[in-house]
Amino acid sequence: MKFDKSKELIPIWGDVIPGNTGESKHDRMHWDDTLVYREEIKDGYAKETYADVPFLVPYLVPGSKKCVISCPGGAYLSKSIDNEGEQIAEFLNAAGISCFVLWYRAYPYKAPYMFLDLQRAIRFLRFHAEEYGFDPDQIATVGFSAGGNLAGVQAVCFRDAPVEADGYEPDETDRMNGAPNAVGLIYPAVTVADDKIQVVMADAETYNDPEARKKFSKRYEMKEHVKEGDAPMFLCNAVDDDAINAFHMVDFARACREKKVPCELHVFPYGGHGFGGCRPQPAPPIPGMVPPDLSAVTQWKELFVSWLNRTLGT
């Protein structure tokens, strides 16, 4: 899916983008009508080679001192731009908060490039804060599902680490702090240990090799990396989420508490997975399937705005 044609697409990297070799993506994927090909390449912004250009889409509120980077989910295979991007920007704008939706690199790219994209987006906005009119110390991230993994891992595993990639030379933007000031994780994939998401983030060989899987998990398991001084966290999910175990999020909240990282946690009784902007979705294509009841989870938006204002200041 693409953004409205009237929207500006702001590239976040300079002339050199770490991880872009220009080689064919055939090394990991085929074109036979796969989800990634249809949604990300044919009808999206990805290329058939490793030459994708990550970008931000601005939704600005004049006078807003805060901004939020929204990271749509999609299992690192596609991106829910409408429900977890544009609709998020709309409700944040209505609350007087500027928002930028991030289009980041995902499959067939491997970790860490999606995390470097978010880190670079934070640095880019901090570098251009005066131009956009917000406070460089009031930059938050919010991620959904795999986008929640993206926002969480970047915040507690990468923070302000320097970009380490062959052939990449830091520029002026890279001198800015790459850590967010606040983080929202909405039905987030907070754990990668023993999860098949490793097949997408790394490869099948990593997942199938116990030692390689353990090493990958050690690098990207959020609860093992959180430390005192990390950005405050807002977490929410629904108990009946059939895609991600909501109580993994509770484990992460416990780790935050142990490390004295401010954390607000909401577990709703129902709402399913992918509620995002909480707008009623079209009727499910499967006869007899009942759309999720969003009456409980829709509260997350007001709760998040309230938390954000308390955390970053009004």
Q: What is the pTM of this model?
A: 0.95
Handedness of CA 95, 89, 177, 236 (dihedral sign): positive
Mean pLDDT value across the chain = 93
User: What pLDDT sits at residue 292?
Assistant: 79
Three-state DSSP class for residue 169 = coil
Residues 249/265, Cβ–Cβ less than 8 Å: yes
**287 band by pLDDT with thresholds 50, 70 and 90:** low
Rounded average pLDDT over 116-134: 97
pLDDT in tens, 251-278: 999 999 999 999 999 999 998 888 888 7
Question: Maximum distance among all alpha carbons in the chain?
Answer: 55
Q: Indicate if the pLDDT at residue 77 is higher than 70.
A: yes
Domains of the chain: 51-312 (3.40.50.1820)
Between the alpha carbon of residue 93 and those of residues 10, 51, 120, 123, the distances in Å are: 19, 32, 23, 22
CA angle at residue 157 from 152 to 159, to 5 degrees?
Answer: 85
Let me know if 148 is exposed, middle or buried by CB neighbors in 10 A (0-12, 13-18, 19+). Answer: buried
User: What pLDDT sits at residue 120?
Assistant: 98
Higher pLDDT, 193 or 310: 310
pLDDT in tens, 25-56: 999 987 765 889 999 999 999 999 999 999 99
Q: Indicate if the pLDDT at residue 239 is higher than 90.
A: yes
pLDDT in tens, 133-189: 999 999 999 999 999 999 999 999 999 999 999 889 999 999 999 999 999 999 999
Residues 98/30, Cβ–Cβ less than 8 Å: no
User: What pLDDT sits at residue 283?
Assistant: 55
User: What pLDDT sits at residue 80?
Assistant: 94
